[in-house]
Amino acid sequence: MTTVGIVGHGVVADRVRRLVATTHEVREHDLPAEIVVLAMGGPHAPRAAELLRAGVHVISTSGGLDDIRSMLDLDDDARAAGVTLVVGAAASPGLSGLLARYLVAGMSGCDELHVAVHGTAGPACAREHHDALGGWAVGWHDDDWIERSPAGSGRELCWFPEPVGARDCYRAGIPDPVLLRRAFPAVRRISARVSATRRDRLTARFPMLSPPHREGGVGALRVEARGNDEHGGRVTPVAGIAELIGTAAAAVAGAFVDHVADGAAAGVLTSADADLPALELLRAVGRGGVRVQAFTGIPHE
């Protein structure tokens, strides 16, 4: 039985504990463990670097753009230590990468990937959402990086699975384009947006006016791929979820705990990597209580 340490005491950390405890030995984060899940607020890169040097596998649920970039730079450290660092094992990033890989696998060619997310998990996630709307938004457009400041522009009406439905979404400083570009180098356009109210956008450049709720309501994620099928026809498959974001993030982190425990390769892994068993990981996410849905364009009564 693998020993797993969980760092954090929020919504995601608590749910990861419950999921992982069914198949692994869960320990407090200050006790020795073979795998450590970082599910606390704040930057994860410094703590991840320490754990890698100690020969510990690390799974990070961070969604901070700068934090993700810093952890991607730890690939050499992880390989030298012979351990795995999973970067972005939450809903977005995390499940977004698994869904992108699943969609692209069913296409003959893909030239665009677009991610949109609605809702937050606990307070740390809400603060990331707030900061993402107030900083720089990144995207990949016609084989070049674009950065837009301020974020919170580029409104697009995105349809999520019910009961969330349609939401106005805006460019934001979230790391999905960075991770998807790493995994899909041939894709020419990659974007990521988050839903936001008028108040969210107006106050994004200031400190949060009120403490965030312990947990947001039902959130949602959608990933849209654009490309062609085997006959050359244009196709636009869409997949997503409507679920508590904390539940989705915990299910993804739990799936990667099992994957690492089974013997993942040393180095940095992200959820969209081509050599990962995306379908198997999605099934594990489903066992964690998250139902993945595909948009077919056919109404159901």
Taking only the tens place, the pLDDT of each residue in 210-222 is 777 778 889 999 9
Ramachandran area for residue 190 (φ above 0: left; ψ -120 to 50: alpha; else beta): beta
Per the CB < 8 A criterion, the answer to whether 176 and 192 are in contact is yes
Taking only the tens place, the pLDDT of each residue in 14-38 is 999 999 999 999 987 667 899 999 9
CATH topology of domain 95-245: Dihydrodipicolinate Reductase; domain 2 (3.30.360)
pTM of the model: 0.94
Percent of the chain with pLDDT over 90: 78
- Residue 231: which residues within 8 A CB-CB, separation 6 or more? none
Asked if the peptide bond before residue 211 counts as cis, ω within 30 degrees of 0, the response is no
pLDDT at residue 299, rounded to an integer: 59
Taking only the tens place, the pLDDT of each residue in 173-190 is 999 999 999 999 999 999
* Residue range 3-90+247-295 in CATH 1.10.1200.10: no
pLDDT at residue 129, rounded to an integer: 81
User: Following DSSP, what letter does each residue of 172-223 receive, concatenated?
Assistant: ---SHHHHHHHH-TT-SEEEEEEE--HHHHHHTTS--SSPPPSS-SEEEEEE
* Residue ranges of domains in the chain: 3-90+247-295, 95-245
**Lowest model confidence (mean pLDDT) among 118-127, 221-230, 267-276:** 118-127
In the structure, what pLDDT confidence band is assigned to residue 202 with cuts at 50, 70 and 90? low
